[in-house]
Structure 1
Amino acid sequence: MFPGTTYRIGVLVIIVFISGVCSDEHELLMKLKAALAGSNTKVFDSWRRDVSVCNFSGIWCDDSGSWVKEIELSHQNLSGSIPFDSICQLQWLQKLSLGFNYLHGSLTDDLNNCSRLTYLDLGNNFFSGVMPRIDSMKSLLYLYVNNTGLSGTFPWASLESMTGLVVLSVGDNNFDQTVFPQQVVKLRNLTWLYMANCSIGGEIPAAIGELKDLINLELSTNNISGEIPSEISKLVKLWQLELFNNNLRGKLPVGLRNLTNLQLFDASINNLEGDISELKFLTQLKSLQLFENKLTGEIPPEIGEFNQLVNLSLYRNRLTGTLPQQLGSLSDFNFIDVSENLLTGPIPPNMCKNNKMSFLLMLQNNLTGAIPSAYADCKTLSRFRVSDNQLSGVVPSALWGLPVAEIIDIANNNLEGSITSDIDKATTLGQIFAARNRLSGELPPEISKATSLNTIDLSHNQFSGRVPATIGDLKHLNSLRLDNNRFTGEIPDSLGSCDSLNEINMAYNSFSGHIPAALGRLPTLNAMNLSSNLLSGKIPGSLSSLRLSLLDLSHNKLTGEIPESLSVEAYNGSFAGNAGLCSLKVKYFPRCSSRSDSGGVIQTVITCLSIGSAAGLMLLAYLCYMKKKKGGKREEEDDDALTWNVKSFHVLSFMEDDIIESIKEENLIGKGGSGEVYRVSLKNGMELAVKHISKHLVGKSVEFDAEVETLSSIRHVNVVKLYCSITSQESRLLAYEYLANGSLWDRLHNDNKKLGGLDWITRYEIAVGAAKGLEYLHHGCERPVIHRDVKSSNILLDEHLKPRIADFGLAKKISQHPDTTTSCSHVIAGTHGYIAPEYGYTYKVNEKSDVYSFGVVLMELVTGKKPIEAEYGENKDIVYWVCSKLKNKESVLSLVDSSICEGFKEETIKVLKIAIMCTSRLPTLRPTMRAVVKMLEEAEPCKLLGIIVKQK
């Protein structure tokens, strides 16, 4: 053999070997590409057979260019199922990063074959099933499986072999409930521990203090109980500590002051007590959030000197004393919420010193002094809420013109001044709450320039002069409350142009002239109170077309005949104090006649009859009393059992006997867990739906009481109307408006040909109407309401297929704090298929749970499918099914109900996108209902296309 031959043969063998291995790796990666072929991405454009794997996008090889070392395909819009059996044959693979995609399917045991991995990121995807054991990954340093869609039991024992683990991120998964796993506190090299939202219970172990390299510790939204261990003070490198939304109790531990590197601290929504004096040493804090606890004492003045602090949320505690007057003046302060405490003293004047502040929320305290003038120059301020305090002085005029303000809330104080012409700059202003102050002056015509206004409440002030005619330019106006002021002049006709108006209250002023007929053409008006003014002339016949829950025209100077449709006993009080009115039907009013003296004669007759009737009633009452007295105790008890207590919430044109007599089998239209529902037809042509709470549930009246409390105060065109409750010892009845077209569920899913289908324009309008009803519950009520059982069977449809949110048996009014983002309930409630994922790992839910359920309803409207169907697979629902189809345009369009006209299929995808946002696994990523309404309105289908389709 020639010299060097052996060397050349060796090199040739290595080359052939490497070439073969590279060829194998090429094939393995091509299998990955094929599995993800439906992805909407360009990352695979370079993945061709004529290109070296080391030149593939997202692929990194070792220094010699021989082996695939890293796969980095995060944030690439990938969809499909990962072939781990192929991937894990890449024998030198150290990094596999697939986070933030749309991957689905299960994680197979083949994953355990990726034994050389030091970095594994599968987070923020849509996998299903359980996390397999990964014991072989002994070299793993970074493990990200957060927000993957995994469930079942996490293989905590696999962590025992990963002694070098630096990052462990397993949060936002619906794992089985478990106590804090001891394997975690043995990972002494951890710097980052993310275990939020993953069903951890029990107490935080004292051994957590041994993880001395931790810079981030997140345990929020679990079921952790007990006290915060004092050993946590050993974690002196901590930069972020998140403990919010648990069941922690006790005081902030002594020694917390040692965490001098801490910048972000959140222990909100717990049961913590005591003062917060330990925090005065944490000078690096940027965000401090301790809201919804039971904390007491004063806010340490040292916090006012923190020069990094930008976010302070301490609302709904029992804190006392004054706010540090230096607060926010040394930093780019952005947000403060100290509402619902017992704070006193003035508002710190310089929190917007650097013009960065967005929210100033100080509701429900005992603050005094004036509103600092500096906030009138705070161009970044979005929400200014200082209601329910003892503030005084003049409201700075420029405050009304803040350019990005959405809410100005100064109600229930002792403030003076007027609304100035500066308001013409407030183009984003949606709500003004200024009731019960000492404000005066006239409303400026420039208010019409604040075109985003939907709520104006100026009641109980000293405003005077005319309401400007330009107020009709406020096309989004939903509620106008001007009652108890000194307004004069006529009610502007232009109000009839405010098509969104739901409530008008102008009572107790000095308005004169006629009631504008244009008010009768407002399509959504639900309540109108014009009482105690100087209004004259006839009642417009146009008011007959309104469907009002409240009508009050009493104590004016109205004349003429009461319109026939309003001439019912139910409206007697609505017209009292108008001597010039007459009626052919309503007693207690003179009968209308052309003869001038007939009214007086009839009035005399009526008076005599009234006196006679009163005397007769007194005699009858006496006889009944004597009979009852002689009947003995037994008879008395029987009489009590048959006594009905009626609570009316709207004007009633019927008596309880009319309803009670109709509770019989032939009128039964439905049954539920809490009782039966009857259709009641009254003699006056009115129809009601009456819920009868079963006898055995009368003593367990939580749902009944919740429904009555919630619906009794609600006035909205898209929320079902509760007329009254009728109760006795034996029965409980709720009388609602009857909605002829049943529920949305019936229309979408029942095989009843008589019901007929729903075209897309109708479905869209149902979606918008239902969304507005929920928006009102979350944002429009004095105390926000969480429905907790939003579903298509609880969306009822009237004769025009307009929707009403119904069935409030599980509803919960949350504490009076309009800006709360996490108002909680500890009761599992709802219907399978509509329940938000967070129900699986915490009892604490909020408005975002309603948003999730509404997102499911939107998916029903788009797909025509039920929330749970066999075709989705075992333990799968419509949300999973929809997300599994997000591969390409064709598969997405295949989701659309086949009965929807082809021309609208592109239009429906806009609503489907909103539904996907609403059903995000993380509640914080879901939009508010206010945002949902806005997005739906922007997704309005082309009405012209609808006309063309119907003509065809």
Structure 2
Amino acid sequence: MFVLQWPSLMLLLLLFVGLFSPSKSDELHILLDLKSKLEKSNTSVFSSWTPGNSVCNFTGVVCNSDGLVKEINLPQQQLVGVLPFDSMCGLQSLERIDFSKNSLHGTLTEDLKNCTRLQVLDLGCNYFSGEVPELSLLGNLSFLNLNKSGFSGKFPWKSLENLTKLGFLSLGDNPFDSSPFPEEVLKLDKLYWLYLTNCSITGQIPGGIQNLTQLQNLELSDNQLSGEIPTEIVKLKKLWQLELYNNSFTGKLPAGFGNLTSLVNFDASQNRLEGDLSELRYLNQLASLQLFQNQFSGEIPQEFGDFKHLIEFSLYTNKLTGSLPQKIGSWADFIYIDVSENFLTGQIPPEMCKNGKMTDLLLLQNKFTGTIPESYANCKSLIRLRINNNSLSGVIPPGIWSLPNLFIIDLTANQFEGPVTGDIGNAKSLAQLFLANNRFSGELPSMISQASSLVSIQLSSNSFSGQIPSNICQLKKLNNLYLNENMFSGSIPDSIGSCVSLTNIDFAQNLLSGKIPDSFGSLPSLNSLNISTNKLSGEIPVSLSHLKLSLLDLSNNQLVGPIPDSLNIPAFRVGFAGNPGLCTQNDPCSSNSGKSHHHLRKILWCLIAAILVLLISLACYLIAKLKQNNLEIPLKQNAWRMKSFRVLSFTEREIIDSIKPENFIGKGGSGNVYKVVLANGKELAVKHIWPSKSNDQKSCRSSSAMITSRTFRSTEYEAEVATLSAVRHVNVVKLYCSITSEDSNLLVYEYLPNGSLWDRLHTCNKIKMGWEVRYAIAVGAAKGLEYLHHGCDRPVVHRDVKSSNILLDEEWKPRIADFGLAKIIQAGDGGDWTHAIAGTHGYIAPEYAYAYKVNEKSDVYSFGVVLMELVTGKRPIEAKFGENKDIVNWVCSKINSKESLVDVVDSIISEDLKEDALNVLRIAIHCTAKNPAHRPSMRMVVQMLEDAEPCLLTNIVVDKEDVRSPNSKT
């Protein structure tokens, strides 16, 4: 019998193990393969990854005692590319993968299941796509972070049941499919960190949350959770952070909530919670309390004044009463308080800036009384002081005016008195000074001209006196100067013409005298000028004709002489009232010849009318004949009425004579469009709107049918005129005037030489448009829509937002155009909806199909489609999308597939900007949500487009300031 000796047996065993163990050369090959996949990255991290170097010396690589790779740690290294999980999981001792905060893309493959020893997987803050694969074989995972990583579709919640060692689970900020709160998570009893913010969770928080007794951090914000906060949550005694903001929670804080004595950060803002705050009086470890935009009532517990760690306190827009605890903020390095829009009374707590760290004091729209405590004159850290709309009084403490970091002082609508002192010139950061509706008095100090950051000064309705400082225009950034309803006297300083940034001036209802400065005409940006109800004399300077004003009010002065022709338009006519000495060419000041001329003109018009009656049959016949042969109908040569909305440099005849075939440039949503070039070289666009053919025919048959035609015409025409004549925004097309006759309507707009966005993206006139230009167009168009929805006295719904209604000027800046379908929402009409048929196929929101309802959120959907056009370069409807499919379906199908979303981006866009384009595509996806309630407002869309969206989550701390501001009273 052959018997193996012990040394021989050991040698055989070593050979056997060697056959089935990974070699170091294999690991070197795997890591070099990883390097090759990421070699486009702008980083030097791989300089040590060379074949001649030991893998254990590679930057970011950690080996175990056997010299095998245990960890790959490469967070925040500007890595770009696709991770080769298939080869990486060949590292059989690999326990940790950290590629967080890079720019990685691609999908998470099924090969990940081979990383069975993996304990830490951190891929947060990247640009992956597709669904997360099955994770059940990764039973050793204790840390899983996929936050803001780009994954979408259906998440494999079921597979979490096998990950029983998980302590850290972060899946937030990904567009997963909607699902109820995942019951599988409730079985992970070792969890200490659970971040499920913004991942489409619906329904209620189940009572089983009490099983997660080790939880220290629970974040479920920005979902669609509803119902009451479950009572069982009070059993999570180790919680130091609880974030539930921006859901639909109702009811009161659960009984026993005060038992969560370890809470440091609590945010349940933007819900519908009610009841009082008494349960919170025991939470003396609180550093941040955010409960704004709820329906809480009752008094603020006085115990809050003894909280020695409290630094952030935001309860605005509730129904709270009583007084603020007078000791609040006096213990720690208090940063801000915002209790605006409540019913709070009493005095301002005096020591919130005791440690000199406070940045925001926001108490607006309450019932506070008393004075501003003198201690705040030393609060040099203060940035925003907003205590407007209260019942505060007294003199402003010395030193407040000169605080070096103040950006805004808003004391509007109180009972403050005394002067603005000269030390305001030391407020070098001050941009907004709002003191209207108080009892301030004295002269406005000339030193205010040294507050060099001032953009807006509003001193209306006070008792300021003396002269307007002659050096006020040293403020080169000043946009708005409102001094109306005071007792300013003397002349308006001629130096006002050097205020090059001024857009609005209001000096009405003062005691100003002397002449109107000719220098007003030198203000290139002036939009509104109101100097009414003073003692101004002399003639109106001709230089005012150079201004492009939307408002001019010179009424109730002592002005004399002629009104310059270019200012003598209907829009400004009221602004000349109360000046008996003014006259016009049509109404001379000192003779009766004008009256006889006016009588003669009446006779002439009567004769013309009689001739028109004789010719009307012939006119109708010609119109019908021309229509039948599809010819352009010539415009009548008389009976035109022009209504001006801006200062004009042309006559109605110049416009009418230019409506001819050779000037035709296209069709709008409600008529032909012509290009008009004036004698001075200025270019205009004129839309010629006609009633329908059936109504034209009816109008020739009877006078009653003529009314029908006019009614039809007014539907579209008056909608556009009413909307555009009231709108003043850089991203909305300018309407100069309307010209109407018995059967025609002309609208005269600014001419935009680069046509429409549709032309530049989709037609034979398209150009190679880079992402920088597309992004600027997206932001500008969004701001135009935001103004229509939020900036007008009544919100305006466009109802036909599309790329062909976004026009481009010579610098490619966008203008929202074609308001033929717009509707101004009437207050109290029973809701925000309008039921008229509206929109263009491919842009129409899905709710229209079942409800025939259109509101602001329908515009948001349409704008989301425009964003998709900008990112993808595709039309809203294309054959490649499939039957009955549009661009929204196509983009969503790409998200749900395994394909890289980068492939959706227009190939014209450079590679280094495609990730930026994808950020805008994600905004477009939000805008085109099926449920209108889930779409952002246009105000939010603008914020999202402007937002750089930095990474929200670190390994331990979530900076919620990067998600949304707790102090929205800007």
| Kept in 2: contact 1:710–1:785 (CA 8 A) | yes
Residues 291-306 of structure 1 mapped to structure 2, 5 A cutoff: 291-306=292-307
Q: Residue 751 of structure 1: which of 744, 756, 763 is its match?
A: 763
Distance (whole Å) between structure 1 residues aligned to residue 56 and residue 111 of structure 2:
24
> What's the counterpart of residue 41 of structure 2?
39
- Counterpart position of 1:338: 339
Residue number in structure 1 paired with 2:556? 555
1:819-846 CA-to-partner distances (Å, cap 9, x unmatched) read: xxxxxx999x9999999xxxxxxxxx99
Aligned alpha-carbon RMSD (Å): 5.5
Is the alpha carbon distance of 1:124 and 1:677 closer, same or farther for their aligned partners in structure 2, counting shifts above 3 Å?
farther
**Matched AA of 2:574:** G
1:480 aligns with 2:481: yes
- Secondary structure at the counterpart of residue 183 of structure 1: helix
CA pair 400-248 structure 1, distance change in 2 beyond 3 A: same
Give the deviation of 1:64 after TM superposition. Answer: 2.6
Aligned-pair distance for 1:687? 6.6
Give, in whole Å, the separation in 2 of the partners of 1:709 and 1:528. 23
Contact 2:872 / 2:905 at 8 angstroms: preserved in 1? no
| CA 1:75–1:760: 2 relative to 1, 3 Å | closer
- Partner of 2:36, secondary structure, is helix
What per-residue deviation string (whole Å, max 9, x for no partner) do you get for residues 534-557 of structure 1? Answer: 222222222222221111111222
Q: Which letter does structure 2 place at the counterpart of 1:489?
A: G
Map 1:123-142 onto structure 2 (within 5 A): 123-142=124-143
Deviations 1:894-913 (A, max 9, x none): 9999xxxxxxxxxxxxxxxx
Corresponding residue of 2:456: 455
Q: Are 1:286 and 2:287 matched, yes or no?
A: yes
Q: Which residue of 2 aligns with 1:905?
A: none
Q: Distance in 1 between matches of 2:52 and 2:244?
A: 53
In structure 1, how many angstroms separate the alpha carbons of the residues matched to 2:14 and 2:113? 34
Name the CA distance, whole Å, in 2 between partners of 1:287 and 1:783. 37
* Matched position secondary structure for 1:232: helix
1:369 alignment partner in structure 2: 370
Question: Is the CA contact 2:770–2:910 (under 8 Å) kept in the aligned structure 1?
Answer: no
Any residues of structure 2 matched to 1:143-292 within 5 Å, and which? 143-292=144-293
Q: Does 1:23 align with 2:25?
A: yes
Does the 8 Å CA contact 2:785/2:816 hold for their aligned counterparts?
yes
1:430-481 superposed Cα distances (whole Å, 9 cap, x missing partner): 1111111111112222212222211111111111112212221222222111
Aligned to 1:892: 912
Q: Which residue of 2 aligns with 1:601?
A: 592
1:426-825 paired onto structure 2 within 5 Å: 426-585=427-586, 587=587, 590-591=588-589, 599-602=590-593, 715-720=728-733, 737-741=749-753, 745-746=757-758, 748-751=760-763, 753=765, 795-797=806-808, 803-804=814-815
Query: Alpha-carbon deviations, 1:501-538, whole Å to 9, x = none?
Result: 22111111122223223322323222111111222222
Does the C-alpha gap of structure 1 residues 709 and 859 become closer, same or farther in structure 2, counting only changes over 3 Å? same
CA separation in 2, counterparts of 1:720 and 1:554? 30
What does residue 71 of structure 2 align with? 70
User: Which amino acid in the other structure matches residue 417 of structure 1?
Assistant: G
Asked if 1:110 corresponds to 2:102, the answer is no
Distance 2:891 2:868 in 1: 22
- Paired with 2:792 and 2:377, the residues of 1 have a C-alpha distance of 28
CA–CA distance in structure 2, aligned partners of residues 183 and 705 of structure 1 = 59
- Aligned-residue offset at 1:275: 0.7
Change in 2 beyond 3 A, CA 1:765/1:211: closer
Structure 1 916/114 Cα, relative in aligned 2: closer, same or farther at 3 Å? farther
What is the aligned counterpart of 2:53 among 51, 54, 70?
A: 51
Separation of aligned partners in 1, 2:868 and 2:471: 37
Structure 1 position 92 matched with structure 2 position 112: no
In structure 2, the residue matched to 1:624 is none
State the SS of the aligned residue for 1:329: coil
Instruction: State the alpha-carbon separation in 2 of the partners of residues 323 and 37 from structure 1.
Output: 59
Q: Secondary structure at the match of 1:439?
A: strand
In 2: Cα distance, 1:601 partner to 1:483 partner: 38
- The aligned residue for residue 388 of structure 1 is 389
Please tell me whether the aligned partners of residues 743 and 794 of structure 1 are also in contact (alpha carbons under 8 angstroms). no
User: Contact 2:566–2:647 at 8 Å: present in 1 too?
Assistant: no
Q: 1:216-270: CA deviations, max 9, x gaps?
A: 0000000001000000000010000000000100011111000000010000111
**Which whole-Å CA distance do the structure 1 matches of 2:796 and 2:338 have between them?**
21
Where does residue 645 of structure 1 map in the other structure? none
CA contact (8 A) 2:549 2:647 kept: no
Q: Distance in 2 between matches of 1:40 and 1:748?
A: 33
- Map Cα deviations across residues 860-905 of structure 1 (whole Å, 9 max, x no partner): 5xx995698999996569996499999xx994389999xxxxxxxx
Tell me the number of residue pairs that the alignment of Structure 1 and Structure 2 aligns: 832
CA pair 235-736 structure 1, distance change in 2 beyond 3 A: farther
Helix, strand or coil at the partner of 1:136: coil
SS of residue in 1 equivalent to 2:326: coil
Q: SS state of the match for residue 172, structure 2? A: coil
User: Percent identity of the aligned residues?
Assistant: 49
Say which is worse superposed, 192-201 or 106-115, in terms of deviation.
Answer: 106-115
366-375 vs 245-254, which moves further:
366-375
Shift of 1:341: 0.8
Distance 1:50 1:688, change over 3 A: same
Q: Which residue of 1 aligns with 2:925?
A: none
Deviation at 1:400, TM superposition (A): 1.6
Cα 1:797/1:500, change in 2 over 3 Å: farther
Q: Secondary structure of 1:416's match?
A: strand
Q: Distance in 2 between matches of 1:547 and 1:601?
A: 34
Distance 1:200 1:891, change over 3 A: closer
Distance in 1 of aligned mates of 2:284 and 2:347:
24
Q: Is the 8 A contact 1:722 1:734 kept in 2?
A: no
CA distance in 1, matches of 2:684, 2:302: 64
- Structure 2, unmatched stretches of 5+, are 607-642, 693-707, 740-744, 845-854, 882-886, 918-943, 953-959
Structure 1 contact 77–101 (Cα < 8 Å) conserved = yes
Aligned mates of 1:104, 1:771 — CA distance in 2: 28
Q: Distance in 2 between matches of 1:926 and 1:786?
A: 29
Q: Secondary structure at the match of 2:232?
A: helix
The SS at the match of 2:135 is coil
1:918 to 1:784, Cα distance in 2 relative to 1, 3 A: farther
Kindly state the Cα deviation for residue 3 of structure 1 after the two structures are TM-superposed.
9.1
Letter of the structure 1 residue corresponding to residue 912 of structure 2 = V
How much does 1:389 deviate?
A: 1.0
Give, as a single letter, the amino acid of the residue that structure 2 aligns with 1:74.
P
Give the letter for the 1:373 counterpart: E
2: distance between equivalents of 1:881 and 1:239?
39
Q: Does the 8 A contact of 1:739 with 1:796 survive in 2?
A: no
State the alpha-carbon separation in 2 of the partners of residues 718 and 169 from structure 1: 41
Paired with 1:832 and 1:31, the residues of 2 have a C-alpha distance of 49
How far does residue 751 in structure 1 lie from its aligned partner after superposition? 3.4
The answer for unaligned runs of 5 or more in structure 1 is 592-598, 617-647, 727-732, 816-824, 836-844, 898-913, 932-952
Change (3 A) 1:436 1:780: farther
Question: For the residues of structure 2 that align with 1:705 and 1:336, how far apart are their CA atoms?
Answer: 48
- Superposed CA deviations along residues 134-170 of structure 1, whole A, max 9, x for unmatched, are 1100111111011011110000011010112101100
